[in-house]
Amino acid sequence: MMTILDVRGVSRRFGGLQALSDVTFSVPKGQIVGLIGPNGAGKTTFFSTLVGLIKPDSGSIKLGDTSVVGLKPHKVAALGMTKTFQNVALFAESSVLDNVLTAGLLRHDVATAREQAMICLDRVGLKSVAHKLAGNLSFPERARVELARALCTGPKVLLLDEVMAALNPVEMQEIMDLIRSLRDDGITLLVVEHHMRAIMTICDRILVLNFGRLLADGTPQQVANDPVVVEAYLGRSMEAKS
Ligand SMILES: Nc1ncnc2c1ncn2[C@@H]1O[C@H](COP(=O)(O)OP(=O)(O)OP(=O)(O)O)[C@@H](O)[C@H]1O
């Protein structure tokens, strides 16, 4: 299998806090990889580091054969790796279509970006609200717009940061189906999500972060049965959050 993402020895410190410590793994094209860990484990920091919002102190990050360390987020996105944002911040006074279209401008001229934006909105089930003001959408719809925005950049690797937050079970199932269909289209997905059952169901593989370190890397079953993971995290979160 072709490796699409290769991360070696990535570390990042904030003052006295080692937020990421020597994180190493690689992802073959087409995998759905879950990233879990307690609050403050470094998940968001790690995603931000992958897409160029935070520069690692050391380590390498390669998308295909291209090193992305030190590149600005729009460059990394243009190369094919982008993330959704945990707190969806749309331009409330603009149409849904315009919100998505602006992301597509990274790769396309306005006319093509508009076409692509409609395709991406259709993909996430929001074609019918394309001309509504983004500010008038429901929260679950906004999460889908955020997903359409990310899709409109044409990602090879897409990082989803808590896209299922505040969704009901039906909406969650729909997003899970959508994630699978994106994978079937050849997109590689990294998923941060607090809903344990969803992440265990949808992912081929789970990485566990704890205090910035990679604690485990395996199939959902391997990770769920790993005593070290249960001790550090799952024992508690399975009870509290599943
Ligand atoms: N810009 C920053 N400056 C200083 N400290 C930061 C910064 N960003 C994150 N941190 C710290 O780094 C650690 C990792 O935070 P991060 O948000 O990556 O964790 P997380 O696993 O995403 O947590 P959550 O599940 O709560 O979102 C935390 O202790 C956090 O306070």
Q: Whose CA is nearest to atom 9 of ligand 1?
A: 45
Whether residue 238 is predicted with pLDDT greater than 60 in this model: the reply is no
Is residue 189 within 8 A of residue 183, CB to CB? The reply is yes
The better pLDDT of the pair 237, 218 is held by 218
Determine the pLDDT at residue 111.
Answer: 93
pLDDT tens-digit map of 35-87? 999 889 999 999 999 999 999 999 999 999 999 999 999 999 999 999 986 55
Whether residue 242 is predicted with pLDDT greater than 50 in this model: the reply is no
**Do 181 and 131 reside in the same domain of the chain?**
no
pLDDT tens-digit map of 165-222? 888 899 899 999 999 999 999 999 999 998 888 999 999 999 999 999 999 999 999 9
Query: Is residue 235 very low, low, confident or very high in pLDDT (cuts 50, 70, 90)?
Result: low
Residue 86 Cα to ligand 1 midpoint, Å, equals 13
- Reported as type and span, the H/E element at residue 44 is helix 43-50
**Do 75 and 90 reside in the same domain of the chain?**
no
Measured between alpha carbons, how far is 68 from 62 in angstroms, rounded to an integer? 6
Number of domains in the chain: 2
Determine the pLDDT at residue 236.
Answer: 59
Residue 14 Cα to ligand 1 midpoint, Å, equals 9
Is residue 161 within 8 A of residue 44, CB to CB? The reply is yes
- Average pLDDT of span 124-152: 91
**Do 208 and 160 reside in the same domain of the chain?**
yes
Q: Is the dihedral of CA 227, 233, 239, 242 positive or negative?
A: negative
Considering 129, 154, 179, which residue would you say is the last residue of a domain?
154
Say what the pTM is: 0.91
Instruction: Indicate which atom in ligand 1 lies nearest the CA of residue 86.
Output: 27
**Do 223 and 129 reside in the same domain of the chain?**
no
Is residue 117 within 8 A of residue 100, CB to CB? The reply is yes
**Do 159 and 145 reside in the same domain of the chain?**
no
**Do 139 and 120 reside in the same domain of the chain?**
yes
Determine the pLDDT at residue 223.
Answer: 93
User: Does ligand 1 have an atom closer than 6 angstroms to the CB of 14?
Assistant: yes
In which domain, by residue range, is 127 found? 86-154
Residue 225 Cα to ligand 1 midpoint, Å, equals 27
**Do 9 and 50 reside in the same domain of the chain?**
yes
Q: Whose CA is nearest to atom 24 of ligand 1?
A: 39
Q: Express the helix, strand and coil content of the chain in percent, nearest 5 each.
A: 40, 25, 30
**Do 162 and 69 reside in the same domain of the chain?**
yes
**Complex ipTM value:** 0.93
**Do 165 and 234 reside in the same domain of the chain?**
yes
- Whole-number average pLDDT of the chain: 91
Going from the C-alpha of 31 to that of each of 20, 85, 156, 177, 184, the distances in angstroms are 23, 21, 11, 15, 10
Beta-bridge partners for 26: 6
Query: Is residue 104 very low, low, confident or very high in pLDDT (cuts 50, 70, 90)?
Result: confident
User: Does ligand 1 have an atom closer than 6 angstroms to the CB of 183?
Assistant: no
Residue 20 Cα to ligand 1 midpoint, Å, equals 10
Measured between alpha carbons, how far is 140 from 137 in angstroms, rounded to an integer? 8
Query: Is residue 113 very low, low, confident or very high in pLDDT (cuts 50, 70, 90)?
Result: very high
CATH number of the domain where residue 16 is located: 3.40.50.300
Grouping H, G, I as helix, E, B as strand and the rest as coil, residue 23 is strand
DSSP letters of 115-174?
HHHHHHHHHTT-GGGTTSBGGGS-HHHHHHHHHHHHHTT--SEEEEESTTTT--HHHHHH
Instruction: Indicate which atom in ligand 1 lies nearest the CA of residue 162.
Output: 27
The pair of three-digit structure tokens given for residue 115, joined into one six-digit string: 């076409």
Determine the pLDDT at residue 86.
Answer: 58
Residue of 12, 44, 57, 192 to mutate, ligand 1, most atoms within 8 A of C-beta: 44
**Do 62 and 160 reside in the same domain of the chain?**
yes
**78: Cα separation from own chain's centroid:** 16
Going from the C-alpha of 1 to that of each of 4, 25, 31, 67, 118, the distances in angstroms are 9, 15, 10, 19, 32
Measured between alpha carbons, how far is 139 from 202 in angstroms, rounded to an integer? 22
- Reference 203, options 35, 11, 6, 25; nearest CA is 35
Residue 61: left if φ>0, alpha if ψ -120 to 50, beta else—which one?
A: beta
Considering 96, 123, 154, which residue would you say is the last residue of a domain?
154
Measured between alpha carbons, how far is 191 from 133 in angstroms, rounded to an integer? 28
**Do 159 and 222 reside in the same domain of the chain?**
yes
**Do 145 and 161 reside in the same domain of the chain?**
no
User: Does ligand 1 have an atom closer than 6 angstroms to the CB of 17?
Assistant: yes
The pair of three-digit structure tokens given for residue 29, joined into one six-digit string: 């094209």
Whether residue 240 is predicted with pLDDT greater than 70 in this model: the reply is no
